Amino acid sequence: MEAEALRTQGDGLAPNQTVSFNGQTNSLRGGSDSDGAKRRTLSDEKSRPPLGAKLIIQRGGKVGKEFPISGVEALIGRWDADGGIFPDVDLDQDDPEAKVSRRHARIQFLNDQYLIEDLGSTNGTFVNRGPRLSPGAKQPLKNGDEIIVGKTFLKFVLS
């Protein structure tokens, strides 16, 4: 609907118009990038994840396939357009037996570390072949950790 409204406005955008895409709100105001930079605080800079985090399929699906983790949060699961689920780490094509839940697990960058939590998945989430993670319990991740979701083995890598 919002895209439809934009098409009917001649040049497309009005000053100070706000549009939502995939759950994120972006202000479409005129101005330079320096305006946004002035509004950032030191705490914003500290909460940003370092560059280069990714998950790599080690077993199951297409071995070697990489999923970059660029934001402060990444959902691991399977794509479902009807349900409105579009995970950052979409294992739909790499999980033919559907052992990965639609919303399986989440990786977050919080307090200068990456954490993983199971979101109540059917087949569980495991780190370094340890015990099954309890839903909602956050487990710290380190470079090289192995994450198992369903029958898919992923390696967590920081570069």
* Residues 19-70: tens digit of each pLDDT: 333 444 333 333 344 444 443 333 444 456 666 799 999 999 899 999 999 8
* pLDDT tens readout for residues 132-157: 999 999 999 999 999 999 999 999 99
Answer whether 78's CB lies under 8 Å from 101's CB: yes
For the segment 79-90, the average pLDDT, to the nearest whole number, is: 95
Q: Is 41 helix (H, G, I), strand (E, B) or coil?
A: coil
Half-sphere exposure of 103 (CA within 13 A, CB side): 8
Beta bridge partners of 27: 18
pLDDT of residue 47: 59
- Please state, in angstroms and rounded to a whole number, the distance separating the CA atoms of residues 47 and 129: 29
Answer whether 74's CB lies under 8 Å from 91's CB: no
Does this model's pTM top 0.85? My answer is no
Average pLDDT over the chain reads 79
Whole-Å CA distances, 42 to 38, 39, 47: 11, 10, 9
